[in-house]
């Protein structure tokens, strides 16, 4: 069945370090891909999205490129801040309003 | 514009009881989805409603049910609670369409089953 696999956490980085969180998906057709972020005690918020192959989603310094050939949507940021500490979820949707999420990757950024 | 509102924020129940959770979507959003979030399983899709009809359903037992009202507000019900039902239940709303553009999540209802 359709699924999303993302790297296990937690990931601990020093402030201003480079961040990569890997995400791959298994799906048929042309799904839309997303990264959501969850801060402590809150619901999820959309961070960025891409709806077709080679699209690059970007927001708040985060980027991810929809790679159909490798079925990947890795999240990157050039310089993380303490305020980026949160749980990051990769997700995809093949249609209608059903979204399949990865298990989440906890990021901790230390000063 | 008000966000997605879920009530109550916390619930404590005992095994065998039933519980009803409520979700008010963003004004104008006609699709409401429910997710169960646990540390071990992450987010699991429960079901999605649009115009009072269930369009999608996840792999949960029949003890989990939901409904949507004409004003798009939604409720989910869990009957005969089990310890394993302890989780954060998240509601999300979106503009209805064939493809998801963006889900807007509430802060969730934290259910503890003792």
- Provide the pLDDT for residue B98: 64
- Where does residue B85 fall: left (phi above 0), alpha (psi -120 to 50 degrees), or beta otherwise? alpha
Q: Which of A111, A89, A85 is nearest to A100 (CA)?
A: A89
- Judged against a pLDDT cut of 80, whether residue B99 lies above it is answered with no
- Provide the pLDDT for residue A41: 83
- Judged against a pLDDT cut of 80, whether residue B96 lies above it is answered with no
Question: Are the Cβ atoms of A97 and B96 closer than 8 angstroms?
Answer: yes
Sole residue written with tokens 């999205």:
A49
**What DSSP letter does each residue of A72-97 carry, written as one string?**
B--EEESS--GGG-EEEEEEEEEETT
Q: What percent of chain A has pLDDT over 70?
A: 97
Question: Are the Cβ atoms of A89 and B103 closer than 8 angstroms?
Answer: no
Q: How far is A73 from chain B (nearest CA, A)?
A: 17
Q: Which of B103, B108, B110 to mutate to test the interface with A (most CBs of A within 10 A)?
A: B103
Q: What percent of chain B has pLDDT over 70?
A: 96
Residues of chain B in contact with residue A103, where contact means CB-CB under 8 angstroms, are 41-42
B-facing residues of A in 56-95 (CB < 8 A) are 89, 93, 95
Q: How far is B65 from chain A (nearest CA, A)?
A: 16
Q: Which residues of B touch A (CB under 8 A)?
A: 4, 31, 33, 35, 41-43, 45, 48, 50, 55-56, 58, 90, 92, 94, 96-103, 105-108
Residues of chain A in contact with residue B102, where contact means CB-CB under 8 angstroms, are 46, 49
Mean pLDDT of chain A: 92
- Judged against a pLDDT cut of 80, whether residue A94 lies above it is answered with no
């Amino acid at each position: 069945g359709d699924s999303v696999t993302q790297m296990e956490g937690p990931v601990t980085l020093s402030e201003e370090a480079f961040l990569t969180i890997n995400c791959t998906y298994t799906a048929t057709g042309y799904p839309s891909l997303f990264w959501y972020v969850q801060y402590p005690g809150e619901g999820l918020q959309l961070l960025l999205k891409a709806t077709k192959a080679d699209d690059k989603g970007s927001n708040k310094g985060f980027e991810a490129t929809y790679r159909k050939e490798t079925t990947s949507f890795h999240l990157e940021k050039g310089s993380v801040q303490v305020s980026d500490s949160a749980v990051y979820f990769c997700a995809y949707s093949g249609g209608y309003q059903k979204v399949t999420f990865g298990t989440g990757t906890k990021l901790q950024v230390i000063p | 514009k008000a966000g997605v509102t879920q009530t109550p924020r916390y619930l404590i129940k005992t095994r065998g009881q039933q519980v009803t959770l409520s979700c008010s979507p963003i004004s104008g959003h006609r699709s409401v989805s429910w997710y169960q979030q646990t540390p071990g399983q992450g987010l699991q899709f429960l079901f999605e409603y649009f115009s009072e009809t269930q369009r999608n359903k996840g792999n949960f037992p029949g003890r989990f049910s939901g409904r949507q009202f004409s004003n798009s507000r939604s409720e989910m019900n869990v009957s005969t609670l089990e310890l394993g039902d302890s989780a954060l239940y998240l509601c999300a709303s979106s503009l209805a369409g064939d493809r998801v553009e963006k889900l807007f999540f509430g802060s969730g209802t934290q259910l503890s089953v003792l």
